[in-house]
């Protein structure tokens, strides 16, 4: 694929590296680290699609970056129940502390106003990327 489509190897490497790091530790200390993971694990797919179509434009790459971040954040948000069953919390620790949500409540599947606020904050960040 790299040779026939002339796709950049570094985008594939970013995908692999990001997923390898998450496999080693799914912990996100803050929303910025979640964004970074999303940029590294989702945005390269958009960059590769653009390359495959022969589109090279800094402005479109910028849009792809924000779209990848938004999609990645929402993917992680959707995965909270799945990860919680395995006693893994993918919500940013900084937000859990801010809203006083113990990770044990997430693992038990307990919904609360405070947890809703964490989810809202994360979803808001994804929405902000769609607005850019």
Query: What is the reported pLDDT for 3?
Result: 63
* Per-residue pLDDT band at 98 (split at 50, 70, 90): very high
Neighbours of 113 (CB within 10 A): 8
pLDDT at residue 43 is higher than 60? yes
* Per-residue pLDDT band at 47 (split at 50, 70, 90): very high
Q: Residues 10-31: what's their mean pLDDT?
A: 84
pLDDT digits (tens, 9 = 90+) for 107-118: 999 999 999 999
The pair of three-digit structure tokens given for residue 106, joined into one six-digit string: 């997430």
In 3D, which of 104, 100, 103, 109 has the Cα closest to residue 82? Answer: 109
Domains by residue range for the chain, with CATH: 9-131 (1.10.600.10)
């Amino acid at each position: 694929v790299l040779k026939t489509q002339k796709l950049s190897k570094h985008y594939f490497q970013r995908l692999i590296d990001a997923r390898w790091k998450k496999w080693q530790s799914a912990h996100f200390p803050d929303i910025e680290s979640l964004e970074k993971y999303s940029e590294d694990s989702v945005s390269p797919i958009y960059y590769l699609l653009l390359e495959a179509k022969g589109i090279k434009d800094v402005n479109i790459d910028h849009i792809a970056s924000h779209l990848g971040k938004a999609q990645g954040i929402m993917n992680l948000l959707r995965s909270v129940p799945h990860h919680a069953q395995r006693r893994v919390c993918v919500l940013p620790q900084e937000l859990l502390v801010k809203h006083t949500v113990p990770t044990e409540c997430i693992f038990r599947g307990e919904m609360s106003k405070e947890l809703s606020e964490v989810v809202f904050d994360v979803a808001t960040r994804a929405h902000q990327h769609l607005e850019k």
